[in-house]
Chain A
Amino acid sequence: MVMLYLSAIVLLPLAAILAESTSEGTGTFWSQVTGPQAVAALKLTVICSLIVVVINAVTGTLIAWVLVRDEFRGKKLLNAIIDLPFALPTIVAGITLLTLYGNESPVGIDVAFTRVAVVFALLFVTLPFVVRAVQPVLLELDHEVEEAAASLGASGPTIFRRVVFPNLLPGLLAGVALAFARALGEFGSLVLISGNIPFQTEVASVLIRGQIENNNMAGAAAVSVVLLVASLVLVGCVTLLQRWGSRRDR
């Protein structure tokens, strides 16, 4: 039963994408994936996602640090709010950002239909990944090692770099990989705020939607396969990183 459900809902459809992408020969697959519009969209998607995960790695670690090591009023509320981007529907996330940073912005910042908006929307939807990956590791970290380092004369930044950071690394990288996977495929929060301008702000998922609407199923499937392979690789990375992380614990 489990296999049947899984096959009907997940496996068969994914197999259909692979079949469709090469239905007109591998030559067509390559020409679809290397067409100028597809290359531009894929390039934009990858570059924006990379920028986003680098920012996330820094801010996510910082937020996790503040949530674990700092004490202030409203901390519990703040901790709960971190998950809001996961709970909030993506289309609502997009409209929410447009309200403050669109053409009717009350603070005069209008980034709608630009690449900045793409990065901004991706930062919003991927916010919790690194925080939630780093937070549990920080919580379990033994203070004594840091205190020992301090008593031996190590400065704050040195302790972070030499003692804390190596422990955080597996979790941090797993969070980064998950955020990267999410950013590569993100759609809902981008459709309104990015403007979907080909060669400028059109990301891969929006391009695929356009190809489906134009009934270019082979093209849509070809670009989908590229995203699919990236997802598979990233899921594999996360599994390996989690194993690495749990080995460190022992």
Chain B
Amino acid sequence: MIGSSTASRLTLRTVALAYLGVLLIAPVGLIFYRTFEHGLSAPFEAMTTPDALHAFQLTLITVAIAVPLNAIFGVGCALILVRQRFRGRGLINAVIDLPFAISPVVIGLSLILVYGQTGWFGDWLAEHGIRIIFSTPGIVMACIFVSLPFTVREVMPVLQEIGTEQEQAASTLGANPWQTFWRVTLPSIRWGVGYGVVLTTARVLGEFGAVTIVSGNITGQTQTLPLFVESQYRNFNITGAYAAAIVLALVAFATLFAMNRFKPKEGT
């Protein structure tokens, strides 16, 4: 077996650790140090300004709408893709992955071209007094778009694995499809759904590119937390930028923790 000699193993380990240290660990460590080097009060004050609180609130609203919608869609879509055979199934299966591969800026632009003032539905929406772009619905749509695949992709393999025997047994015993879903299917896929929801939440909380395009980035109105980080930094309010960045980084660490807890048991 290679890499078994101590010298070569130590060399490989050192190179890997040095690379991760320079690229990942040192920068993340430094931003925590910079934020808290003069105590807790400055970052705390920066996070309790009206604009910061509003950004916080808008981000939470976005999560509260986008995450449940994508969870429901994810479970439904996974059920259809795994359990049914129909024309266009291959197409849907391929389309699901697109949001991961497309640039967030392109996603933002695509939404503007449909739902913006001069977009396809622009006139109709204006007539009915509905505002999507430069407003909360647009932000929510952008977040749904970018985080669409997570739940589907986590639930599909679980569904494939559990098979249909238990569901068939339930319906033989007289359960209607709805009961079968709630009592049999959902309990067996709950970890997959949970894992998908964790990943979706993290992505929605932190989405920057697509949201910056569709939101108009108006301070105190359409500014989510990641946009608040950028605008504070550009306005040379470094304390505010760091404080908000740390809040988002802590959420990222919580996500990592949850990922390791809920991860379907495979390998390390």
> A10 near B226 (CB under 8 angstroms)?
no
* Contact with B267, one of A3, A9, A101, A139 (Cβ below 8 angstroms): A139
Known A-B contacts A9-B145, A188-B226; the reply to A87 vs B252 at CB < 8 A is yes
Q: How large is the interface on A (under 10, 10 to 19, 20 to 34, 35 or more residues)?
A: 35 or more
Give the contact stretch, choosing among A24-32, A91-99, A168-176: A91-99
* B-chain residues with CB within 8 Å of residue A79 when the two chains form the complex: 268
A-B CB contacts (within 8 Å), total count: 252
* B-chain residues with CB within 8 Å of residue A157 when the two chains form the complex: 2
* B-chain residues with CB within 8 Å of residue A186 when the two chains form the complex: 103
> A101 near B27 (CB under 8 angstroms)?
yes
Give the contact stretch, choosing among B49-57, B90-98, B171-179, B185-193: B90-98
Give the contact stretch, choosing among B5-13, B39-47, B123-131, B162-170: B5-13
Known A-B contacts A63-B20, A91-B229, A92-B206; the reply to A9 vs B113 at CB < 8 A is no
> B92 near A6 (CB under 8 angstroms)?
yes
Give A89 to B206 CA distance when docked, in angstroms: 4
> A91 near B1 (CB under 8 angstroms)?
no
The SS class assigned to the B binding surface is helix
* A-chain residues with CB within 8 Å of residue B98 when the two chains form the complex: 10, 14, 231-232, 235
Q: Annotate B59-96 by CB proximity to A: 1 below 8 A, 0 otherwise.
A: 00000000000000100110010000000000010111
* Contact with B206, one of A88, A187, A205 (Cβ below 8 angstroms): A88
B residues with a Cβ closer than 8 A to A are: 1-3, 5, 8-9, 12-13, 15-17, 19-20, 23-28, 30-31, 34, 73, 76-77, 80, 92, 94-114, 118-120, 141, 144-145, 148, 202, 205-209, 212-213, 226-227, 229-230, 233-234, 241-242, 245, 248-249, 252-253, 255-257, 259-260, 266-268
Beyond the given A66-B13, A124-B27, please list 13 additional residue pairs across the A-B interface where CB-CB is below 8 A. Answer: A2-B73, A20-B113, A81-B25, A84-B253, A92-B206, A156-B2, A204-B103, A205-B106, A212-B213, A224-B106, A224-B110, A232-B101, A235-B101
Q: Which 4 A-B pairs have the closest CB atoms?
A: A185-B103, A89-B206, A13-B110, A16-B113
